[in-house]
Structure formats: structure tokens, C-alpha cells
Structure 1
Amino acid sequence: MIPPLPDLVLDPMVRAALAEDLGQYGDITTRTVIPEGVRYTARLNAREDGVVSGMQVARMAFHLVDPALSVETLLADGAPCAKGQTLMTIEGAAASILSAERVALNFAGRLSGIASLTARFVAETRGTDARITCTRKTTPGLRIVEKLAVLHGGGFNHRFSLSDAILIKDNHIAAAGGIKAVLEATKASASHMVRVEIEVDRLDQLAEVLDIGGADVVLLDNMDPDTLREAVAMAGGRVVTEASGNMVLGRIAEVAATGVDYISSGALTHSARALDLGLDF
């Protein structure tokens, strides 16, 4: 089970979403048509099968609007859900529930969609040691919860930011003067606490990286399965191998079978469809 993040980390994100939705004057519809004192029990229901994520954030949205609301999470983040299953119940002032509804559903649907897609990717790697990992292709401002949703789906996280590790891409190599130049620069100045990954798209580049040394991980970019298999054999366990580039769902089983350690896909976060969830009174 993936432990929840501290609420204080998520609080600014949820507050910003609520402020955006409530606008300058709050929920004028609810204030106009719902009499004061009306109480209801609402249920957050799944309208399709999937994997749950965002329950912690949804709960925060309801409680930030009204701390008096009673929120019970029935299905934890990371759990599979079935169509028609109730994920959460919210009891209290009807006006408060309605005012928080859209923000709670936006987060829960978006994050559950990422977790569900990740789970489908992970399922394609069964029988291999390959791990599915995300990228930095995330929604601005939502990276921490989107990457958490990847974990809920059974995947792994790549860098959270540019400051986490050294990842030398093709443009870095071109601008710095070649593979030898970038690896020698990292050897000369990088902290011993920082891991180094370098991107290659040809086997001769991989051979150069292995000969020079200094890389912990090699990103094998846009290689076909036969080339990936040869690259894994060349690496021989000396570096971690990561396959990347056009890693869509239909390719994952074939790529995983090549023996790569990781398969990174931006699609997990930039192309996931929101899971269909609804709040029913």
C-alpha cells in the first residue's frame, strides 16, 4: 500500500482549485436554491471499472469547504473499483457538498484515470522484470498527485524535477559537444549523491557510453525490439536500461520481453482519460 502524502503538501493545490471554482462570490446557484439547514448524504460512485486514486484529495476538498462534513472513504487509493461501487460517502450540509463537488470529482476522476491506465501498462509486463515508469509530462501544478496516481496504478516514478538527477538528453549532447564531453563534465563536477542517466538512440552511442563510463542509467530512445534486445545484451547489467519513445499500450508486452529494466511512458499522465465518477445524492 502506498502511504498518503501529508495533507499540508496537498493543501495549497486543493485550495487553489477551490478558489478557482468558487470565484469571487462563491456558489451562487447553491446559495440561491438550497434552503439553509438542508442536509444530505451523497455517494461518490464509480461508473466504470478502474483503479482508484485521488480519494485523499477529494476528502480534503470537502473538508476545506466545510470541516463539519462527515467524509468516509470506502475504497482506498490504489484499490481496484467496479462499475457501480461506492468509493466515498459524504454527509452534512447539502450546500457544502454541492460547492465542493466539482473540484473533488475533477481530482478523483483525473487521478483515477491515470492509475487505471498505469495498471493496464503494468499488466502488459507480467512475466518479465520490466517496471513501468512515468515522465515529467504532467499537468503543470499537479505533478505530485499525478505521479502518486502512477504509484497507485502499480507503476514507478521517474524524476519529480530537474533537480532530482542528471538526465542527459540528445539536445544536451549536441549543445555540449558529444557524449564524451557530457560524461567527462559529469565526472568532474556532479555530486556523488546524484545519479546520471544518458539518452542514446543507436548502439554505437551505447558502446561509447559503456566505454567512457560515468552513467548509471542509459535511456534507449525509439529503438525497435530487436535493437533493444541487443542493447540489453551489450549493457550486460553494467547500467540500468530504460526504454523510451512512443511507448504506447500496444507495444509494452513486446518491449518488456526484451529484458529492459524500465519502460518510461509520458502517455501515463498526458494521455490518460479521466475515470467516469459521479456524485449521487
Structure 2
Amino acid sequence: MLTPTTAQALREAGLPAAAVERIVREALTEDLGPELRDVTSLATIPEAQTDTADVVARADGVVAGLAVLAAVFELVGAVGAGGRTVEVVLRAGDGAVVARGDVLATVTGPTRLLLTAERTALNLLSRMSGVATHTRAWADALAGTKAMVLDTRKTTPGLRLLEKYAVRAGGGTNKRMGLYDVAMIKDNHKLAAGGIAAAYRRVRTAFPEVPVQVEVTTVAEAVEAVEAGADFLLCDNMSPETLREVVEVVGDRAELEATGGLTLEVAARYAATGVDYLSVGALTHSSPILDIALDLRPTGAGGAVPDPLPRG
């Protein structure tokens, strides 16, 4: 079971504790196999041995997912090690800029559990922190403009909840969570329905309470979409010059999102057009991990938390 502290931290982050627990249990089971065992730790470490380990940044970046890391260590005993527990002390906060050598968390408990949980905990924390670090680079590139960076549905299957949280921790904004909460009329929908206006009417009739977004590729399509009633347009693969024209024509009748092949090198140019959002699938499909490690303290180290790596 999760401790009340970790469950509360997840809720405050907008992460349903039950959903995170399910993700963590599945990840641990994947690593422990059908017999729920870590054969190396079982063979080499006495059952009664306890130790303390530090979770340490191996690179500069933005951290995200510390409560998820705590959940892994808290649940590992329940999943595969006889109900024994690990104490977790977090030493940073999600969204914080961290440097190489910073201690992000300290875990104390049965050594077998610490090493059994290690890879699952680091996989999730490193992945989420990598997404947050990449997102922060985009947020910084858009600073001083009204444009915000948006994520997409191009997420790792099974990890969308965590990756979209990491985007928020890095200073980005979430778009729709899935196909159920926002209607997005794209080119294939327009073709199948017989045009933008027809597709928009059908969505509005079937799901009057659901927000509707329309993908457009030309100025003429943008005009058609807003005249049909759309108040959010995805401007797909437009040049900055075309986007400026769309902004002028649409005015305040709809929010505008630039999407399609955007990079950090051109972010400022697109933001300067006056669009409200830049949509970047790479936040979740191409972010490298942030290198983070678990360092077991030497027996009897105790005392103050060491600085395992020199900075710089």
C-alpha cells in the first residue's frame, strides 16, 4: 500500500493514486517475472540486511516523478518480497532544476527490496524527468511571447498519464488526454464526412458538451472552420508567413495552434506570429531520459547525505 504522504503527493500533482499504483505494479511484475523474484538479490543478499541508498542526478535537468519513485519503493514489498517496507525521503520537488550530483531522494529498508525496485523506479523517474527537461527547453524558448507549448497523444503506451504530468512539471500544457475528452476533426474526418462544416455539425450534434478542434492547412480552411463555429484551430504545417495571415483573418474568434514538424530552432519565429500554442509531439515521443542513478551507501555511512558526484 502507498503511504498517506505519497498518496497525497500524487493527488496534489493531479495523478490518481490508484492509476499510478496500477502502472507501478505492472512495471514491477514485468521486471520480476511470473514467480515475482529477483534472483540476483535473493542469492547474494541476506534477508535481514538493511541499507540506505541515494537517488542521484547524473546530469543537469528538470526532475519530475518523485512521488512515482516513492510509490515504486513502497509497493515493491507488496508485489514480490513478503510485505516488508522501504522508507522514502524526497529531497527535491518536481519541476525543480537539478544539477549533476544532486541527491533527489533517500531510501532506507531491506537491501533486497532497494535493489529489486531500483530499475523500475529509475526507469520511470528518468523517463519523466527527461520529458520535463525537454519541455522546459521549449518553455524557455517561448518566454516573452503569449504562446505556450502543448503535448500530443504521441506518448508511450501505458505511460500517457505520467508523461503528460511530466510535461506540466516542465512548464508545458496538456492537450487532450485521449479520443474521449476532445473532438479533433482532422483531414481524414473531413474527407469521410464531406467537408469541415459537415464534420463539425455532426460532432456538435452527437457530443454537444465536448470541445471541438479542427485541423486546417490553408487560410481558406481556417475561415471555413470558424464560420462553421470552431473556436480552436490546428494550423498544420503552415509557414510563419501563412500563420500570420491566419491570425489576422481569424482574430479572436478562435484559439490557434501551430503544429507539424516544429523544432526549437524555429520556435521563436512561430511564436512571434501571434498563435496561442505550439504543439510538439517530440516532448513525449523523442525526449531522451535524464540520467539518474541509485547509489547504495557504504555500510555504516549514516549521518549526512553525501555528495556522490563532483559537480561540473
Name 2:46's counterpart in structure 1.
35
Letter aligned with residue 35 of structure 1: P
**C-alpha separation in 2, matches of 1:187 and 1:245:** 26
Name 1:11's counterpart in structure 2.
21
2:125 to 96, 108, 114: 108
Letter aligned with residue 11 of structure 1: E
Instruction: Using the TM superposition, give the Cα deviation of residue 189 of structure 1 relative to its aligned residue in structure 2, in angstroms.
Output: 3.3
1:73 to 75, 84, 90: 90
2:220 to 191, 204, 224: 204
Q: Is the 8 A contact 1:197 1:216 kept in 2?
A: yes
**C-alpha separation in 1, matches of 2:189 and 2:17:** 37
2:187 to 162, 170, 191: 170
Give the unaligned 5+ runs of structure 2. 1-8, 78-83, 297-312
Letter aligned with residue 148 of structure 1: Y
1:137 to 133, 149, 154: 154
Name 2:104's counterpart in structure 1.
87
Name 2:302's counterpart in structure 1.
none
Letter aligned with residue 211 of structure 2: R
1:253 to 263, 268, 273: 268
**C-alpha separation in 1, matches of 2:47 and 2:161:** 37
Question: Which stretch of the first structure deviates more once superposed, 178-187 or 258-267?
Answer: 178-187
**C-alpha separation in 2, matches of 1:98 and 1:107:** 15
Give the unaligned 5+ runs of structure 1. none
TM-score, normalising length from structure 1? 0.96
Deviations 1:152-176 (A, max 9, x none): 0000000101010111001100111
**C-alpha separation in 2, matches of 1:153 and 1:79:** 9
Residues paired across the two proteins, number: 279
Task: Please report the RMSD computed on the Cα atoms of aligned residues, expressed in angstroms.
Answer: 1.4
**C-alpha separation in 2, matches of 1:36 and 1:188:** 63
1:53 to 64, 69, 83: 64
**C-alpha separation in 2, matches of 1:237 and 1:245:** 22
**C-alpha separation in 1, matches of 2:118 and 2:205:** 53
TM-score, normalising length from structure 2? 0.87
Instruction: Using the TM superposition, give the Cα deviation of residue 7 of structure 1 relative to its aligned residue in structure 2, in angstroms.
Output: 1.9
Name 1:266's counterpart in structure 2.
281
SS at match of 1:197: strand
Name 1:21's counterpart in structure 2.
31
Instruction: Using the TM superposition, give the Cα deviation of residue 3 of structure 1 relative to its aligned residue in structure 2, in angstroms.
Output: 2.6
**C-alpha separation in 2, matches of 1:82 and 1:230:** 43
Instruction: Using the TM superposition, give the Cα deviation of residue 188 of structure 1 relative to its aligned residue in structure 2, in angstroms.
Output: 3.3
**C-alpha separation in 2, matches of 1:219 and 1:245:** 9
Letter aligned with residue 62 of structure 1: F
SS at match of 1:87: strand
**C-alpha separation in 1, matches of 2:42 and 2:200:** 62
Instruction: Using the TM superposition, give the Cα deviation of residue 179 of structure 1 relative to its aligned residue in structure 2, in angstroms.
Output: 1.4
Q: Is the 8 A contact 1:118 1:153 kept in 2?
A: yes
Instruction: Using the TM superposition, give the Cα deviation of residue 36 of structure 1 relative to its aligned residue in structure 2, in angstroms.
Output: 2.3
Letter aligned with residue 233 of structure 2: V
**C-alpha separation in 2, matches of 1:228 and 1:18:** 47
Q: Is the 8 A contact 1:186 1:214 kept in 2?
A: no
Instruction: Using the TM superposition, give the Cα deviation of residue 9 of structure 1 relative to its aligned residue in structure 2, in angstroms.
Output: 2.1
1:226 to 241, 264, 285: 241
